Structure formats: structure tokens, C-alpha cells
Amino acid sequence: MMRSETQNLNHLKQGDCTVNLTVNGEQKILQVQPWVSLLDGLRDHLNLTGTKKGCDHGQCGACTIICDDKRILSCLTLAVMKNGSEITTVEGIAHGNELHPIQQAFIDHDAFQCGYCTPGQLCSAIGLIKEGKAQTREEVKELMSGNLCRCGANIGIIDAIMEVKAGGGHE
């Protein structure tokens, strides 16, 4: 075996699992221990730090991403459970320099303050719209209740989502 091949194999630990993902449209391979969360896989192995670690218990929604067109809490999901999945993080929702309509609506409605929860809020809002479940403001409010904003930008967040829903500018 050549030296570089040996070095490449040495970084693998006994028990590592191979996880194949499509992340933001690109094929990615993770080598992780079986207990590594999808959140830690994205942040620590792929350097996608837009997804935030909040409570690490599935209670705040800061880690929300879109997996196979559904909103999930990446802190409660093992990376190995999503082998073969398509993942969208906050880094993948814009198209080049063109903001996703929900991003623009968040700006227009001042739907963030400190910004820590914003990536999870954005992904949750996109997922909520794709799910097509929320038709009224109250339904949107209820279905976004798993994403906490401690700064109090909830009214702007709901306004932004309602604007995008009404305008049909979502994907």
C-alpha cells in the first residue's frame, strides 16, 4: 500500500460508519461513529455551521434542517439514520446571489434580531410551506411553535411566512 493510502485509512477509527448524503445539492460522504448526530456531522465534518446547536434536546428548533423535503431536528437524528437522504441546510436555500423568497421576507419583516435561531426558522418555514398544512395565521403559528425565538421576533417571522404563502413565491 502506498503511504498516502495508509494515511487516508489511518484517520478512520474502528467502528466508523460511512454515511452518503446529498447536502445542498452535492454528494457528501461522512465517516462518523454510529452515535454522531446529523447536526454534529454537518457542523463538524462538513463545516456547515449555519445550522445551530441550541439546546441539543430537540426543544428549541435551532438545528432544524430539511431532510427529504421534511423539517427535522438534526440534534435528535443520528447521521447514520439518514444514509442516502437529501439534506438542505440554511447554506443551500439561496440560489447563488438570489435569496430564497422566505429569506427576503424575513428581511422585509424584520423577522430576526440576534439571528441565532434564524437558520432553523428559515428551514422550518420552507418545510412548513412545502408540507402545505398551514393555511391560516394560527396554523402557521402553531406549526412554527417548535422553533423558539428568545428575542421576540415571532410576529415578524409569522408575517414573513404568511407573505410568502400568499404570494406563491415559494418553491
Q: Distance of CA 74 to CAs 4, 48, 89, Å?
A: 34, 12, 10
Round to the nearest angstrom and report the end-to-end CA distance of the chain: 49
Residue 89 CA neighbour count, 13 Å, CB half:
22
**pLDDT of 2:** 43
Cβ proximity of 140 and 110 under 8 Å = no
**pLDDT of 170:** 43
Global confidence as pTM: 0.87
Q: Which stretch of DSSP H or E encloses residue 87?
A: strand 86-88
**pLDDT of 9:** 46
What is the side-by-side strand order in the sheet with 86-88?
A: 26-32, 17-23, 86-88, 64-67, 70-73
- Cβ neighbors of 47 (< 8 A, separation 6 or more) are none
- Rounded CA separation 132/134 (Å): 6
| Per-10-residue mean pLDDT, the chain, length 171 | 43 79 98 97 97 95 97 98 98 96 96 94 96 92 93 94 80 46
